Amino acid sequence: MNNRSKILIVDDDKGNCKRLNKLLSVSYKTQCANSGKECLTALESFHPDLCLLDIVLPDMDGYEICQHIRKNPKFSETVIIFVSGRLSTESIIKGYECGANDYITKPINDIVLAQKVDLNLKSVTTERELREEVKLSTNTAFTAMRETSDYGQLINFMRDSLECTSYEALTEQVFKITDEMQLNATLKLYTATGELDMNPSGISRPLESELLTRCRNQGRFFDFQSRTIINFDHVSVLIKNMPINDKEKYGRVRDMLATLLTAVNAQVNILDQIKRSETLHDSLLHATIQDVHGAIQKIEATTRSQEQRSMKTMDGLIHDMEGSMMRIDLTDAQESSLLTILKKAAQEMSHIYENSLDIDNQFNSVMKKMSKLIMGQGNKELNERP
């Protein structure tokens, strides 16, 4: 073996101990102990990989020593092979109950001993490697499950963010994920209508807002102590409790936040475009309303002017006709007939004027509604200005 394993030989027969030491020292590092007490001392200093333990010792038996070894976690992988002159079923059962790995009988056959030592040491090595593989596989599985969960959260966010029609609704979705990740976050959005500072508590934190503004041009990631600022064109986030003591988790959190904020940045851009489109639409509507309002005012003024002129013309005509009839030689019947015609025309003009008053009232109603629309539109634009 490349790294020679260590074997502790425990036997009160010094001659036998010497012989086994000579046999095994060719392939292993060896040390001898002639009593239970010496064995326990050697365990702490020598840290053997295998203990060749005689059951019968002057101060304590091998079973007691075996139990002592198994109680110490440091020697959980130490192989224990019992050595006994007589091997009964009861002694084998007792040995395994105490934690022994194997048995060998006296007189010891050198070939059998070599095979048992080699086999047990290889078995321990194989078990250790298997445990490491299981541990690695388990960690890999947990990592995969965790990453699957993380990506599942991101997919859910991307789906839900598409339904967000406001910046506030979008930030709520962001904080939902940061809360699940147990991250303390503050967010700043750079929108078409101005900057928007958000945090889960809803309490304004001017210092954090100023910090995000000042660090906006410090690159994509800006780290200081356990805090990290991540910057995109339309969003910056301050994480106040990054897991800096866990490199693996820290890298995973950074990657996930980068992906999350890429999606947030894109969604803010979409909301900005919608907002600009709405503003343009509102501006066009406002201009149209003003044009219609002006046109109605002109129509109303023209109509009233024409009505007044018509009535004035008719009154003048009647007055002139009455004066002319005094100078014209008409019979009373002719004069009466002509005046009747003129008065009838005047009455018709009066009816037309009365109808025009109804039209004026309708114009006034429309004008009031148009004025309200213009005032409302103007107030909306003022409220939306950054």
Query: Tell me, what CATH number does 197's domain have?
Result: 3.30.450.40
Percent of the chain with pLDDT over 90: 24
Q: Which two structure tokens, joined as six digits, stand for 377?
A: 């539109």
Mean pLDDT within 144-163: 68
Q: What is the pLDDT of residues 224-241, one digit of tens each?
A: 888 899 999 999 999 999
- Whether 137 maps to a domain, the answer reads no
**pLDDT band at residue 146 under the 50/70/90 scheme:** low
Q: Are 289 and 243 within one domain?
A: no
- Whether 219 maps to a domain, the answer reads yes
Structurally, the chain folds into a number of domains equal to 3
Give the separation between CA 297 and CA 221, rounded to whole angstroms.
60
Query: Is residue 241 within 8 Å of residue 181, measured between CB atoms?
Result: no
Give the separation between CA 132 and CA 171, rounded to whole angstroms.
43
Q: Are 364 and 243 within one domain?
A: no
Which of 97, 131, 165 is the endpoint of a domain? 131
- Whether 233 maps to a domain, the answer reads yes
Give the pLDDT score at 252: 84
Q: pTM of the prediction?
A: 0.45
Find which of 217-221, 343-347, 376-380 is predicted with most confidence, using mean pLDDT: 217-221
Give the pLDDT score at 1: 42
Q: Are 152 and 270 within one domain?
A: yes
Q: Are 148 and 255 within one domain?
A: yes
Mean pLDDT within 235-252: 88
Q: Are 108 and 30 within one domain?
A: yes
Residue 25: is its pLDDT beyond 90?
A: yes
13 or 373: which leads in pLDDT: 13
Distances (CA, A) of 212 to 164, 178, 186, 201: 24, 18, 9, 18
Give the pLDDT score at 26: 92
- Of 152, 154, 196, 203, nearest to 171 (Cα)? 196
Give the separation between CA 180 and CA 172, rounded to whole angstroms.
12
Which of 231, 248, 274 is the endpoint of a domain? 274
113 or 140: which leads in pLDDT: 113
Q: Are 269 and 289 within one domain?
A: no
Query: Is residue 45 within 8 Å of residue 16, measured between CB atoms?
Result: no
Q: Are 156 and 207 within one domain?
A: yes
Q: What is the pLDDT of residues 323-357, one digit of tens each?
A: 665 666 666 676 677 667 767 766 766 666 566 55
Task: Find the range with the poorest average confidence among 68-82, 217-231, 360-374.
Answer: 360-374
Place of tokens 């979409």: 270
- Count helices and strands in the chain by DSSP H and E runs: 9, 10
Residue 386: is its pLDDT beyond 60?
A: no
Q: What is the pLDDT of residues 171-190, one digit of tens each?
A: 888 888 888 888 899 999 99
Q: What are phi and psi of 146, to 5 degrees?
A: -65, -45
Mean pLDDT within 78-85: 90
Q: Are 259 and 345 within one domain?
A: no
Residue 34: is its pLDDT beyond 90?
A: yes
Place of tokens 């070599």: 114
Q: Are 310 and 270 within one domain?
A: no
Mean pLDDT within 272-276: 78
Give the separation between CA 386 and CA 384, rounded to whole angstroms.
6
Residue 382: is its pLDDT beyond 80?
A: no
- Whether 136 maps to a domain, the answer reads no
Give the separation between CA 171 and CA 164, rounded to whole angstroms.
9
Q: Which two structure tokens, joined as six digits, stand for 182?
A: 């147990």
Give the pLDDT score at 47: 93
- Whether 138 maps to a domain, the answer reads no
- The CATH number covering residue 358 comes to 1.10.287
Sheet bearing 29-33, strands edge to edge: 29-33, 6-10, 50-54, 79-84, 102-105
Give the pLDDT score at 253: 87
Contacts of 352 (CB under 8 A, 6+ apart): 307, 310
Give the separation between CA 116 and CA 53, rounded to whole angstroms.
13
Q: Are 263 and 322 within one domain?
A: no
Task: Please provide the average confidence, as pLDDT, over all residues in the chain.
Answer: 79
Sheet bearing 194-198, strands edge to edge: 194-198, 185-191, 235-239, 227-231, 221-224
Residue 7: is its pLDDT beyond 90?
A: yes
Residue 384: is its pLDDT beyond 80?
A: no
- Whether 93 maps to a domain, the answer reads yes
- Whether 159 maps to a domain, the answer reads yes
**pLDDT band at residue 288 under the 50/70/90 scheme:** low
**pLDDT band at residue 11 under the 50/70/90 scheme:** very high
Give the pLDDT score at 90: 84
Q: Are 125 and 46 within one domain?
A: yes
Q: Are 108 and 187 within one domain?
A: no
Helix ranges restricted to H, 51-187 = 62-71, 89-98, 110-161, 167-180
The residues that bridge with 10 in the sheet, in sequence order, are: 33, 53
Residue 367: is its pLDDT beyond 90?
A: no
Give the pLDDT score at 80: 94
Three-class secondary structure of residue 10 per DSSP: strand
Find which of 36-40, 174-178, 179-183, 199-203 is predicted with most confidence, using mean pLDDT: 36-40
Query: Is residue 293 within 8 Å of residue 363, measured between CB atoms?
Result: no
- What single letter denotes the amino acid at residue 199? N
Percent of the chain with pLDDT over 70: 68
Residue 200: is its pLDDT beyond 80?
A: yes
Buried b (16+ CB within 10 A) or exposed e, 281-311: eeeeebeebeeebeeeeeebeeeeeebeeee
- Whether 25 maps to a domain, the answer reads yes
Residue range of the domain that includes 66: 6-131
Give the pLDDT score at 163: 78
Q: Which two structure tokens, joined as six digits, stand for 39?
A: 């064995």
Mean pLDDT within 59-76: 91
Give the pLDDT score at 6: 95
Which of 274, 306, 322 is the endpoint of a domain? 274
- The CATH number covering residue 66 comes to 3.40.50.2300
